[in-house]
Amino acid sequence: MLSWPLLRENLDWFVGNGNSIHCWKDSWILIVGSLASYILAHANLSLDWSFSEMVLQDGSWNLDLFRLWLLEYIVWYIQNERNLYGDKSNVHISSPLSTLSENMLHLFTDGAIERGSGAAPTGGVLLDQNRNWIFGYN
């Protein structure tokens, strides 16, 4: 039996379509934390931007947009976020689940691991075979 508290405790972000993560407020870069504290003082910026607004059509980061409001070393962390935990450098937007058979559960991860321990963090939403929400985690 899977321990949900243990699962929740050891999970990280699941991007999904990127609309539920606030780019500036949420701590989606483990090493940096919330980007709001790094925004240049003269920047006139809404903190309500979603994560999906910072990703280009091909799934890569819009680094030029980040550079308008952040110092280059923070942009470096954004650009290399995936490389710190795996070998992917692009953001991958998830597609809808295919039909699941009864008593089946899909758990999608991006292969990210913590360098020190080798632990694999993840997060997302668990759905039943009818695509009904069971619970979300991060």
Tens digits of residue pLDDT in 31-50: 778 888 888 876 678 888 88
Least confident of 16-20, 34-38, 90-94: 90-94
pLDDT at 37: 86
Q: What is the pTM of this model?
A: 0.48
Least confident of 38-47, 73-82, 87-96, 109-118: 87-96
Q: Which residues contact 54 (CB under 8 A, 6 or more apart)?
A: 23, 61, 62, 65, 66
| % of the chain surpassing 70 pLDDT | 42
As a whole number, the mean pLDDT across the chain is 66
Residue type present at position 105 = L
pLDDT at 96: 44
pLDDT at 4: 55
Q: Is the pLDDT of residue 5 over 70?
A: no
The whole-angstrom separation of Cα 18 and Cα 51 is 5
* Higher per-residue confidence, 92 vs 20: 20
- Region for 53 from its dihedrals, namely left if φ exceeds 0, alpha if ψ lies in -120 to 50, beta otherwise: alpha
pLDDT at 93: 41
Token output for 22: 């606030």
